[in-house]
Amino acid sequence: MSKEGQFQVFYKNDQAYLTVYPAAENSLRVYPEDIIGRLKILGIQNVRRHKITQIIEKATGEPEAIAQWTEGKKLGPVISLELAEDNMTAKIAIKPGKQGGEPLSKGMILKFLKNNKVIHGIDNNIINSIVLKNVFNQKVAIAFGTPAINERPAEPMYLFVTDRGKPFKELEYERIDLKELNFIQNCKEGDILAQLAPPIKPVDGKNVLGELLLAERKTAEVKLDAGTGTKLSDDGEKVFAEIEGNVKLINRTVVVEPLVKVENVDYSNGNMDFNGAVDVTGRIADGFILKTKGDIQIGKSVSKVNIQSEGDIILKAGISGNDEGIIECGGNLYARYIESANITCKGNVFVEEAIMHSSIKCGGDIILKGKRAEIFGGRIFASGSIQCKKIGSINEPLTDIFLGLSLENYVKFENLQLLVSEHSKKLDEIEEQIRQIKNALNKNQETNPAQDKLNTALQQLLKESDIRTENLNSNLHKLHELKKNLKIDESSILYAEQQIYGKVHVYFNNIRWDSPAKGCGKTSLIIKKGKLLEK
């Protein structure tokens, strides 16, 4: 907007200033009475008319001091300050001034910040923008502290995926992509597997008040650990593969385990017992055993097999065990589906589609994260939590869920239950045999060889009955003591995202929850202070 033929009266440094802008041809001129009237409104006194007339005649467009005016300070913009709790950021907000107040300027803002001890990290570009655009009634961050950079020794940098096998890459409908788990990571002899990243030197910082922020100084020596199948460079800064195989990180130690890749495990190569990892691109024939100290990856579905691994196991297609399939896993187990199988897994169990009519003992969590993601039938135990979409089915097969105990204690508990059941069943059989022999002896009182044999058999059965009874009582006592001392992990949760059908029983040790006869919708079961809570 043109200021030709205009004037301005404003406050600055305890004085009143007058600026008269030159008038263009045919424009309205400024008269002394206009300015004197404005001065009266603002309360500015003792200004000689002669001085005003001189400034009008010169009309230079430059401000000239005309009188002392301390009261004018109140008319200027009002700046407020907000500091972050850690004094690492300063924000200002500006209320616009009244007519006659000092115009907003960069110097005004800088002076305000200095008076409030904000001296470090001031962004002049932001100040210029505030003044240029007249940014009022908004909080604007205007000064920023410099964080301290803590010292970091040289640290290991691994040139392979250390977080192996986690199914976090999901496809449509939340399906787990079992094809991209970085499960088997091949390396060749001589490959660099790890190296030390350069150290970072400490640099002290400052907050916006100029206070020093001391960086942490660390003197800990960090080194690379080279395990089986690897070697350390002479300077200790690199780890190389000594053999071709599967590279992995175990407790911060880089190891390469030998890797055997076969098409099938069947009559062509027999059972396998191997110290390293095995990649079976095809299938394992029924009745065969695959046992390794490393990881196992199997490309096609398996059935009545025995698979044992001290590491992780991935079944890209799953298992239909016909109640004879056995899997023992020392790490995590990944499968598309599990049906009619007996599984013990010390780590976590990740399944895409379903767990059906199986016996599963899991030392971690059981997570189903696919389109179906359902569990029905069988006996399922997890030391941690279970997450799925559905439990049970419309046909209502009996489904028992156990949660919150350690795997070791649950196995002891289950074994004791089996022993008690076995002894009880055998005792019933023995007592029936004893009853039949006694009936036979009562019918024939005469002494004969047949009667002698019956008496001998009776004595043997009575002796076996005493031994069985003693074992039964002993195991019942152990079972009672174990139940009494078991403690539930209250972080364990059962979470069904969509539905739980009828005939589902959930056990947190001796606390039992039964699903309603007609089932229920989305459900979470947790234990708090020894009480079962349903959400």
Residue 143's SS3 state is strand
> Over 80: is that where the pLDDT of 176 sits?
no
> Over 70: is that where the pLDDT of 26 sits?
no
Which range has the top average pLDDT, 382-386, 452-456, 482-486? Answer: 382-386
Lowest-confidence segment of 21-30, 83-92, 118-127, 292-301 by average pLDDT = 21-30
pLDDT of residue 94: 94
Lowest-confidence segment of 60-69, 203-212, 302-311 by average pLDDT = 60-69
Show the tokens assigned to 72: 């004018």
Tell the residue number behind the tokens 């399939």, with chain if given.
Answer: 325
> Over 50: is that where the pLDDT of 168 sits?
no
DSSP per-residue string spanning 120-138: SSB-HHHHHHHHHHT--SS
513-534 pLDDT per residue, tens: 999 988 898 889 887 767 888 8
pTM: 0.59
Question: Can you list the positions of beta strands (E) in 346-482?
Answer: 349-362, 366-368, 374-382, 386-391, 399-403
pLDDT of residue 57: 85
368-378 pLDDT per residue, tens: 988 899 999 99
| 427 vs 43: which has the higher pLDDT | 427
Q: What is the mean pLDDT of residues 299-307?
A: 96
pLDDT of residue 207: 96
Which range has the top average pLDDT, 39-48, 123-132, 179-188? Answer: 123-132
516 strand-pairing partners: none
Q: What is the mean pLDDT of residues 490-512?
A: 92
Element (H or E) spanning 531, and its range?
strand 531-534
203-261 pLDDT per residue, tens: 999 999 999 999 988 777 778 999 999 999 999 899 999 998 888 898 889 999 888 88
Query: What number of other Cβ atoms are within 10 A of residue 403's Cβ?
Result: 26
Show the tokens assigned to 494: 């059962």
pLDDT of residue 123: 96
Least Cα distance to 401 among 441, 443, 372, 368 occurs for 368
Lowest-confidence segment of 404-408, 421-425, 441-445 by average pLDDT = 441-445
pLDDT of residue 85: 94
Residues 6 or more apart whose CB falls under 8 angstroms from that of 298 comprise 280, 283, 284, 307, 313, 314, 315, 316, 317
> Over 80: is that where the pLDDT of 4 sits?
no
**Could you give the CA distance from residue 302 to residue 320 in angstroms, rounded to a whole number?**
6
> Over 70: is that where the pLDDT of 3 sits?
no
Show the tokens assigned to 99: 């007519």
What mean pLDDT, rounded, does the chain reach? 88
Q: What is the mean pLDDT of residues 162-186?
A: 59
pLDDT of residue 133: 92
User: Binning pLDDT at 50, 70 and 90, where does residue 167 land?
Assistant: low
Sign of CA dihedral 444, 447, 453, 458: positive
Residues 6 or more apart whose CB falls under 8 angstroms from that of 236 comprise 196, 223, 224
Lowest-confidence segment of 58-62, 108-112, 423-427 by average pLDDT = 58-62
User: Binning pLDDT at 50, 70 and 90, where does residue 332 land?
Assistant: very high
pLDDT of residue 526: 86
Show the tokens assigned to 489: 């992990």
pLDDT of residue 165: 57
Show the tokens assigned to 399: 């489904």
Q: What is the mean pLDDT of residues 312-320?
A: 94
Q: Would you say how long the chain is, in residues?
A: 535
Whether the CB-CB separation of 522 and 499 falls below 8 Å is answered with yes
Q: pLDDT above 70 covers what percent of the chain? A: 93
DSSP per-residue string spanning 16-65: EEEEEPPPPTTSPPP-HHHHHHHHHHHT-----HHHHHHHHHH--S--EE
pLDDT of residue 331: 94
Q: What is the mean pLDDT of residues 427-431?
A: 92
pLDDT of residue 234: 92
pLDDT of residue 361: 96
Whether the CB-CB separation of 160 and 247 falls below 8 Å is answered with yes
| 30 vs 287: which has the higher pLDDT | 287
Q: Helices 32-42 and 49-58, interaxial angle, to 10°?
A: 120
| 285 vs 439: which has the higher pLDDT | 285
> Over 90: is that where the pLDDT of 87 sits?
yes
CA quadruple 234, 240, 244, 245: dihedral, nearest 10: 130
pLDDT of residue 181: 57
